[in-house]
Structure 1
Amino acid sequence: MYLHLSTSCFAHTGLISRQQPDLQMIKSTVYRLRRSGFWNLCLMISGVLLFAASSLMAQPGIEWDKAYEPVPGLQPKIVCPTDDGGIIVGRALYPSDDANYIVVKYNVNGNKEWDKTFSGNKRDNLNTIIQTTDGGYLLGGSSNSDSGQDKTDNAFASSVDYWIVKISANGSKEWDKTYGGSRADNVRSLKQTKDGGYLVGGISLSSRDGVKSESSRGAHDFWVIKTTSDGTKEWDKTIGGNMADSLVYVDQTASGNYILGGTSLSGISGDKTDGDAINHEFWVVQLAPNGSKLWDKTFNGYNYDNMKSMDRTSDGGYIIAGESASPIGGDKTENGFGYLDYWVIKINADGDKQWDKTLGGTGRELLASVKQTPDGGYIVGGSSSSDKSGNKTEARKGSTDYWIVKLNSDGSIAWDKTIGGARDTNNQLIGAFPAWDGGYLLCGTSAGIVPGNDRTVAMTHSTELWVVKLVSESNTNALAFSSGSLKFISNGNSTTQTQSVTLSANTGTPAVTLSNSKVSWLTLPAPARGSLSFTVNPEGLSPEKYTSLVAATASGYARALLKVNLHVNDVTTPPVLHSIGDKEVTAPDTLTFTAKATTANGQTKRFSLIGAPEGATIGESSGVFSWAPLVAGTYQFVVRISVAQVPELYDEETISVRVLNPAAATSVRINAGGGAYATSDGRIFEADNYYSGIDRTSTIGADVDILSTTDDELYRSGRSSDYFNYNIPVKNGIVKVTLHFAETYWGVYPGRPGDKDRRRFNVSAEGVVKLDNYSIIGHAGQPLNAVQETFEVVVIDGVLNLAFRSTAEMRDKPRVSAIEVEFVNSIPTIITPVADSYVSYGVNANTNYGKEPTLDVKATSVPELRRVSFLKFSLAGFSDITNAKFRIYGYNYQADTRVNLNLIGLDNDNWTETGITANNAPSGVSTALGTLSVTRKPEYFEVSITDFAKAQLARDKTLTLRIDQTFGGKRIIFNSRENAVFRPELVINTSEPVNSVTRLAAEEMTNETAKTGAESSVIYPNPVRTQFTLNIGNQHQEGVSLQLFNEAGRAYNIKTTELLHAGTKAEISIADLSLNEGIYLLKVQSVSKSEVLKVVVVK
């Protein structure tokens, strides 16, 4: 049989907001829901046919989607399905100072049949529409207009009154009525009664005057009026408690009584016999045929519960739905999933609760409607910002989406479906309705020009009516394309040839229709099943990537979508090579860099070298350059970027590479006990230098052959004594030490046996034994055989200390032939901010957040939610900077998406941590430094800021950074310097020795507490075995604490028996720390100074 659509209408409840619900007044989220008598009859008839297998039904597919006649400035507010399969839409004028009742009727195909405007001489706001039994419509809302134009009666109040308008099926006005008291009265719900009259419901602040026969109970109340078929008032009733009560729904019950539903803030008072005077709660009231109250029921959790929709069920009871922020408790049997969830309650005819269900994800759900379906289940609809989570089974598509949930008759979930447009589109459901064929009609709005995902239509205005039709759960008919996408490429005059796909149906031979998303460049083939050929015409299109969604639809079939991509490539714009600059490298090290370039749309990059030296290469597509020169000198060549499709389009740069010889590199080579020497491979060893201790050398004749080397002379001389040191100046960092040995005495001269135990000794580097009980013959295998030993050492004070010591009296002296020291890598200095804070805007613009443990960043149109963060670093402890990197720990708090933040350098350092607000935040000259690409995973994110750090070091030795967000709308949380862990960092490399102010990530000393020429602390003895004495320098004040760090960065807390301060001489024991031999760093920290001293621990 042919089922009419429900005539109950739903109003747009506004966009999903990140703001907390207003607990002072329920001026939002209490809208309307009505049901036609014919639909109720259909539900009662179909209820006989219900079957238990409904829970097995599959999620329905999309049959079609449409955008309905966009009207600039007139946003869809109310949608009501009509008996002929069409819809009637009430639109709102924004801004609403001159609002009217604007109504548009569309037929089943989405074509406009008529539109009408009804107005008075002031402001008239339409809130609800119902279809009447004669095929016409009743409109209801509020008005402060006097008699004139379409309004017959004068206003009762200077604010607003009820205003209802009866129109015919073709939109002609038949009559209108005004009802009101002395204050604001607003229609929210309408119902045609069995006698042909009407029940008009809404909210009222008026006392007993005008046509209102009873005084207000509280802030605002339910106010219902029973009228005759021509709008003449029969009686009215005021229902309320001592606080705000907002009506959502009115209906005539099967028994002839009347039922009201809405949201209440009232406690037990007035007409309310149960309730909570603090939180919002659902409130249902039943009246007798004469309007007298029969009973009332309250349903709530322990927080915010806001009724949005209500519908009569086939058993004479009602299904109620709204939004809830409540946990489990009270009438709520399930915990919430996110900030706001759908909450659905089924009650019987007496108002007793039968079951309830919580639906939601981890984001925010705003309910729009609930309706009973012919199978006895329920269709619940609204808008969601949640990703896949909770009992939401599909990922988010736009910024907000339609979210539809089908419930079985017992409240269990049959299926749910997320429907949305392209990324960042805002899709807000107004109502979800059972359709004439067993499917569903989803009516709402969509904002965002670009089509995508489920929305195949491009929008021409900011917010338009978007309707989606679903097939029924039992309908498995479906269309399908053989491929999901096509890609056309246009290079100038050439365009990819015609491409084909096959369209098929899984059953039957339906007549199909093809449509695309309003693009002129795509030529659609004649609609048919089978092979379909598509062509494009890029003429007049600028170079860009274009996309169109092609929808194949057929009545009663789930549609098929084909994504058609057109890439119009730029064949006239040359690429731009980013500046590379001159380079420097030490032979035979490898020089690497990555050339970067900007190309126009569709262009393929091709990097090449012109006139490059032998061995130099560059990745054709990656731009990665590599060259390991062997000969010193200056080399010039060209780096070129060209377009693969059009080689004549190119850009290039001539660069110079200066190749240094090894002597100019960061390495030291010493011929121990001998003079300067050049090896066969070009390494230069200087004459013996930097030694101390017992000065003794040894040599062997020039005619003696040294095995395993071509550089015999290097091993014929050596330094050898009972103890000696080398203190070699090097760059701070990690150095590689290579020691060259050859045994030139034992096993060489008569009577001197080549016993490996004759010469044994230890070699220590920076206090750590590297060669223990070392035997030259033992490692070389025989006398006069060259052997090398290599190890790495960390140097932090600019001097590498090598110590050579005998192991026993009966063993010969240590001997070394040559020493090589090569710089491997620098040790960065890590400093944390001296100040950081975020600022907020709007009402928060004068609030300081400097002591918060987090730094927040968010871009949004809501000023109070916008966040920008600032950080300040002091560079006072540095005289030069070779590299600087900013690191900050955080994550995307609101979503799993990647969000790009702007890192900005500021020249304005005039702000303090406890004084900065949005109103006085630093501005002025700014420098874009890079992008922080933040993900959901908490971790450090970093950006190189070397050039900016160098500039600020030269300027005033203070560096200010700003972190903000251009768009994205996601809250990003970083750790601030007040956090106990993972604080922001500035990682600095410098060519100077690391001093005690900046070493070991020491906190920066402020200018106010620094004391020029202050005495440093002193440790003795040093090396240390189990105990040492520490003299605290006079630059420290009070509250001195001690920490010891090993080379791996592990910290050991040092306990003292007394409070330490400037001048204290403390005896420090490390016996209980179980330390290995090696170099440690002692951090002396006071309120005014951070100092680091080197401690050498020996056994």
Structure 2
Amino acid sequence: MAFLAEQVQFIANLHFHGQNRFTVPNIRNSVSLQTAFFIGLHQKTIDMKSSLFSFVSLFLGVCFPVGGMLAQSAPDTVWQKKIGGADYEMAYCIRNAGDGGYIIAAVSSTPDEDDNILVLKLNAQAAVEWQRLMGGSDAEEARTIEQTKDGGYILLGTSLSEDGDVTVNNGRRDVWVVKLNANGAIEWQRSIGSNADEEAVAIAQAPDNGFVVLGTALNGDEFSGDRNYIAAKLTAQGVVSWQKEFGGSGNDVAHGLIVTEDNEYILAGTSYSEDGDLPTTIVGDYVCWLVKVNTSGSILWSKCYDGENGGIISAAKPQPNRYSFLAIKGPSSNSYHWLFTIDKQGVVLSDTKHYFPRYHIGEELIRTADNGYIMTGFAVETDTAGDPTALGTWLVRFAADGSLVWQKKLLNDTASDSATYVGKSTVETTDGGFLVAGHLTYFEDTVGNVDVWLVKLGGTNLPAGVDEAAGVNETVMLYPNPATTTFTLEWQHATTHPACIRLYDILGKIVFSELLPQGTDHATLNLTPLPSGIYTLTSTEREVIRRFRLVKD
């Protein structure tokens, strides 16, 4: 495969122009299949300016304004970039890499051939360092990719193939797990499934260096069959230790996975069942369902968060005994996004409700360095007649307590623009900004009309060790940086309130935390036990959050 072309444009604000037509080729290009299932997507065909186009119509209720004042303004768009060639390239997941760059799981195909999975490694400036195309002669789809503890990557997707890079097919579509080394070479691969169709959902590395895999199994045909969670535990070498299904006689659709600090696994999603592994009595047609299993796959507890129709759509990286999920709940006439946090027994510790306009749906929730969240989703704006006027990417920033900080939309104008910008996944950058990955869809019937799309939001691009708290008249320095053992954090003036110090590794895990008393003017961090790499240090003093990129040699 030829090396993909890269084009980048630096802009102050995103604004797009084009011809008088647009389309969404299929549901997969806008919202995930799992999300589409429980919110009841359907296609609607509309005639606009003598051109037929389709758009996704979501049963998310009537239009409601966002309540309350935003705590901050949304970050500006710094640049956008497309990566692609003659094929169709669509990014579905982006994650931070340990060297300060990024890893992307994407799909590449031509109009006459089935999809293969494309993995892109970017450097810190988002330039392509290497790319790998993998799969067989049938169709593969990418779901997610994560960095592993050995510096490689674990890729999760689905496959229909039984040749090429895929050695086994269990019948129809399987969950496909691929372990890559740091340079993208395949170390091992494994197909998980049965003679049914399986949809990949999530993968996480366990404390024993093995992997926990979550998907949805479809037993029967696509429209009348029932679904169950399917989970598997793999060793670090890819050997399947166990594989089990969870659910009842109805439809149970998985959407998120958390590996707890005590090596237990929380499987999250949506259930329409009232039997099997579900509590016998639920309220509503479908509910948010969590099931916790141990290292052998035995159920520890099973809980439904009902009272209203609802379904979990994403899970954030955990904190100790605090596990956060994003759901959509409520009747179709008044639905809302529900951000909630539970403890290890499934008890809700905190939750917030957010009413957004109709046709706005979140898909991915990630935890940020300050323990807040960023949600990536898709939005369709309509006029009073219900016809679409704009559609594209929707981002929402939440604080650690779940309150709304800002939201930003990167939309096309359906009357004038010839492309749609579909963001699928977001990461926080080391300069305090965000990098969104997805795909740019052009609406011309020509080859190469879908490319990987990246957009950089905010950030200061400051060098390592420089205070990033904008607008605060207080100098804080981190030195030496890089260093091998100890670092010093020094305030020009002693703190007037207690300051919370947290250190995060490249995977977003807290590796050090300390509460410094009021009056602190310096703190020394001994990082000798930690491996070399890039870390993010945050210092939080009341409403002021400072971030530093810390490099340990």
Match of 2:338 among 395, 399, 403: 403
Q: 1:187 aligns to what? A: 142
Contact residue 142 and residue 162 of structure 1 kept, 8 A: yes
Q: CA deviation at 1:412?
A: 1.7
Q: 1:901 aligns to what? A: none
Match of 2:271 among 303, 321, 324: 324
Q: CA deviation at 1:203?
A: 0.6
Q: 1:982 aligns to what? A: none
Q: 1:377 aligns to what? A: 322
In the aligned structure 2, how far is the partner of 1:263 from the partner of 1:223? 13
Q: Say whether 1:291 aligns with 2:226.
A: no
Match of 2:396 among 467, 488, 497: 467
Contact residue 125 and residue 143 of structure 1 kept, 8 A: yes
In the aligned structure 2, how far is the partner of 1:136 from the partner of 1:334? 48
1:194 aligned partner, one-letter code:
K
Q: How has the CA–CA distance of structure 1 residues 160 and 447 changed in structure 2, closer, same or farther, with 3 Å as cutoff?
A: closer
2:327 aligned partner, one-letter code:
G
Task: Give the match's secondary structure for 2:390.
Answer: coil
In the aligned structure 1, how far is the partner of 2:124 from the partner of 2:370? 23
In the aligned structure 2, how far is the partner of 1:256 from the partner of 1:221? 23
Q: CA deviation at 1:162?
A: 1.0
Q: CA deviation at 1:436?
A: 3.1
Q: Say whether 1:429 aligns with 2:351.
A: no
Match of 1:206 among 143, 161, 177: 161
In the aligned structure 1, how far is the partner of 2:193 from the partner of 2:37? 29
Gaps of 5+ in 2: 1-29, 43-55, 57-67, 404-470, 473-540, 545-553
Instruction: Kindly provide the CA deviation profile for residues 495-530 of structure 1, in whole angstroms up to 9, marking residues without a partner as x.
Output: xxxxxxxxxxxxxxxx99xxxxxxxxxxxxxxxxxx
Task: Give the match's secondary structure for 1:229.
Answer: coil
Instruction: Kindly provide the CA deviation profile for residues 157-200 of structure 1, in whole angstroms up to 9, marking residues without a partner as x.
Output: 92111111111121100000011111001111212222212222
1:359-758 aligned at under 5 Å gives the runs: 359-363=305-309, 365-371=310-316, 373-386=318-331, 400-421=335-356, 425-448=358-381, 461-472=390-401
Give the structure, 1 or 2, with the largest relative contact order (CA under 8 Å, sep 6 or more). Answer: 2
Q: Say whether 1:282 aligns with 2:204.
A: no
Contact residue 258 and residue 323 of structure 2 kept, 8 A: no
1:976-1015 aligned at under 5 Å gives the runs: none
Q: How has the CA–CA distance of structure 1 residues 305 and 556 changed in structure 2, closer, same or farther, with 3 Å as cutoff?
A: farther
In the aligned structure 2, how far is the partner of 1:427 from the partner of 1:222? 29
Q: Say whether 1:160 aligns with 2:115.
A: yes
Q: How has the CA–CA distance of structure 1 residues 65 and 444 changed in structure 2, closer, same or farther, with 3 Å as cutoff?
A: farther
2:390 aligned partner, one-letter code:
H
Decide which structure has greater strand share: 2
In the aligned structure 1, how far is the partner of 2:267 from the partner of 2:290? 6
In the aligned structure 2, how far is the partner of 1:428 from the partner of 1:343? 19
1:115 aligned partner, one-letter code:
Q
In the aligned structure 1, how far is the partner of 2:72 from the partner of 2:305? 25
In the aligned structure 2, how far is the partner of 1:408 from the partner of 1:441? 21
Q: 2:107 aligns to what? A: 142
Instruction: Kindly provide the CA deviation profile for residues 528-566 of structure 1, in whole angstroms up to 9, marking residues without a partner as x.
Output: xxxxxxxxxxxxxxxxxxxxxxxxxxx9669xxxxxxxx
For normalisation by structure 1, the TM-score amounts to 0.29
In the aligned structure 2, how far is the partner of 1:66 from the partner of 1:307? 34
Instruction: Kindly provide the CA deviation profile for residues 623-662 of structure 1, in whole angstroms up to 9, marking residues without a partner as x.
Output: xxxxxxxxxxxxxxxxxxxxxxxxxxxxxxxxxxxxxxxx
In the aligned structure 2, how far is the partner of 1:352 from the partner of 1:63? 44
1:755-834 aligned at under 5 Å gives the runs: none
Contact residue 201 and residue 225 of structure 1 kept, 8 A: yes
Q: CA deviation at 1:111?
A: 2.8
In the aligned structure 2, how far is the partner of 1:408 from the partner of 1:334? 23
For normalisation by structure 2, the TM-score amounts to 0.56
Match of 1:263 among 199, 205, 216: 216
Contact residue 197 and residue 229 of structure 1 kept, 8 A: yes
Contact residue 218 and residue 241 of structure 1 kept, 8 A: yes
Q: 1:354 aligns to what? A: 300
Contact residue 249 and residue 260 of structure 1 kept, 8 A: yes
Instruction: Kindly provide the CA deviation profile for residues 458-507 of structure 1, in whole angstroms up to 9, marking residues without a partner as x.
Output: x983444241323538x9xxxxxxxxxxxxxxxxxxxxxxxxxxxxxxxx
Task: Give the match's secondary structure for 2:114.
Answer: coil
Q: 2:71 aligns to what? A: 64
In the aligned structure 1, how far is the partner of 2:211 from the partner of 2:130? 25
Instruction: Kindly provide the CA deviation profile for residues 789-828 of structure 1, in whole angstroms up to 9, marking residues without a partner as x.
Output: xxxxxxxxxxxxxxxxxxxxxxxxxxxxxxxxxxxxxxxx
Q: Which has the larger radius of gyration?
A: 1
In the aligned structure 1, how far is the partner of 2:103 from the partner of 2:128? 10
Q: CA deviation at 1:262?
A: 0.6
Q: How has the CA–CA distance of structure 1 residues 447 and 322 changed in structure 2, closer, same or farther, with 3 Å as cutoff?
A: same
Q: CA deviation at 1:112?
A: 2.9
Q: CA deviation at 1:204?
A: 0.6
Q: How has the CA–CA distance of structure 1 residues 17 and 375 changed in structure 2, closer, same or farther, with 3 Å as cutoff?
A: closer
Q: Say whether 1:124 aligns with 2:89.
A: yes
1:437 aligned partner, one-letter code:
D
Out of 217-226 and 407-416, give the one that drifted further.
Answer: 407-416
Gaps of 5+ in 1: 1-10, 22-27, 29-60, 68-109, 147-156, 268-276, 388-395, 451-458, 476-510, 513-554, 559-1099
Q: CA deviation at 1:65?
A: 6.2
Q: 1:697 aligns to what? A: none
Q: How has the CA–CA distance of structure 1 residues 184 and 468 changed in structure 2, closer, same or farther, with 3 Å as cutoff?
A: same
Instruction: Kindly provide the CA deviation profile for residues 985-1027 of structure 1, in whole angstroms up to 9, marking residues without a partner as x.
Output: xxxxxxxxxxxxxxxxxxxxxxxxxxxxxxxxxxxxxxxxxxx
In the aligned structure 2, how far is the partner of 1:241 from the partner of 1:431? 27
Q: How has the CA–CA distance of structure 1 residues 439 and 118 changed in structure 2, closer, same or farther, with 3 Å as cutoff?
A: closer
In the aligned structure 2, how far is the partner of 1:158 from the partner of 1:18? 31
In the aligned structure 2, how far is the partner of 1:15 from the partner of 1:258? 27
Contact residue 374 and residue 395 of structure 2 kept, 8 A: no
Q: CA deviation at 1:66?
A: 5.5
In the aligned structure 1, how far is the partner of 2:69 from the partner of 2:230? 36
Q: How has the CA–CA distance of structure 1 residues 281 and 212 changed in structure 2, closer, same or farther, with 3 Å as cutoff?
A: same
